[in-house]
């Protein structure tokens, strides 16, 4: 089992400023629309996006949030997100590893899009504990992950989402298996 390190992510962004084609891909655009719909209309008092990358989805979510924090490990991606989000003063971009870089705050929305399956097993455990501690009662967790496995990911989408659905501190509200990604909406008990 292997996983991408912070240096691996940074190298991808150094080689290509949009390595997963977030800005142009039909897949990404459809997934963003479905994820935004799953988040709900808001307004959200304080939202968190794990693995915000270059800020394409962040820019879509920002108008629904009084405060929004996005975290990404890649320096280049975080810098690009800051430039993209300059017109949204309520958005804070943090460069750092998950879960260490997640601020000690309460959130009423947490979005984890194509990030949890990249975490090493101990980091996934710590991140899920952190989500439990930081998501307010009645707060929403929206998780979406690409289904095909990859050698750089220790977990599959199915493994991550099964774990979320089975956790006693979350109530599943909605689950979609939209072709090549899984999307779950869960509420903190």
Give residue 147's pLDDT.
93
**Given pLDDT bands bounded at 50, 70 and 90, which one contains residue 109?**
very high
6 contact partners, CB below 8 Å, separation of at least 6: 73, 74, 97
| Architecture of the domain delimited by 6-137 | 3-Layer(aba) Sandwich (3.40)
Share of the chain above pLDDT 70, in %: 98
The answer to whether the CB of 90 falls within 8 A of the CB of 98 is no
Of residues 148 and 61, more confidently modeled: 61
Mean pLDDT (whole number) for 90-104: 97
Select from 28, 2, 21, 13 the least CA-distant residue to 150: 2
Q: Given a cut of 90, is residue 33 above it in pLDDT?
A: yes
In this prediction, residue 177 has a pLDDT band, given cuts at 50, 70 and 90, of confident
Per-residue pLDDT band for 1 (boundaries 50, 70, 90) equals: very low
What percent of the chain has pLDDT above 90?
A: 86
Averaged pLDDT, 84-93: 98
Mean of per-residue pLDDT scores for the chain: 94
pTM to 2 decimal places: 0.94
- Residue range 131-158: average pLDDT? 95
Q: What is the pLDDT of residue 144?
A: 97
Which residues, other chains included, contact 142 with Cβ-Cβ below 8 Å and sequence gap of 6+?
Answer: 35, 38, 39, 109, 110, 111, 112, 113, 183, 184, 185, 186
Q: Which residues contact 9 (CB under 8 A, 6 or more apart)?
A: 72, 73, 74, 77
Whether 37 shows a pLDDT value over 60: the answer reads yes
Residue extents of the structural domains in the chain: 6-137
Mean pLDDT to the nearest integer, 122-138: 96
Is the pLDDT at 129 greater than 90, yes or no?
yes
What's the pLDDT band for 62 if we cut at 50, 70, 90?
very high
- pLDDT of 141 reads 98
């Amino acid at each position: 089992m292997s996983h991408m390190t912070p240096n691996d992510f940074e190298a991808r962004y150094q080689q290509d400023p949009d390595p997963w084609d977030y800005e142009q891909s039909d897949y990404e655009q459809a997934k963003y629309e479905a994820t935004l719909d799953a988040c709900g209309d808001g307004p959200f008092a304080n939202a968190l996006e794990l693995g915000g990358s270059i800020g394409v989805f962040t820019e879509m979510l920002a108008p629904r949030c009084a405060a929004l924090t996005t975290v990404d490990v890649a320096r280049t991606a975080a810098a690009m997100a800051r430039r993209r989000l300059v017109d949204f003063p309520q958005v804070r971009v943090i460069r750092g590893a998950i879960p260490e870089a997640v601020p000690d705050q309460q959130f009423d929305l947490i979005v984890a899009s194509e990030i949890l399956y990249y975490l090493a097993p101990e980091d996934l455990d710590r991140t899920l504990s952190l989500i439990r501690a930081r998501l307010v009662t009645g707060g929403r967790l929206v998780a979406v992950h690409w289904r095909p496995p990859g050698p750089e990911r220790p977990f599959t989408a199915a493994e991550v989402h099964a774990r979320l659905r089975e956790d006693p501190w979350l109530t599943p509200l909605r689950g979609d298996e939209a072709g090549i990604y899984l999307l779950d909406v869960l509420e903190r008990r």
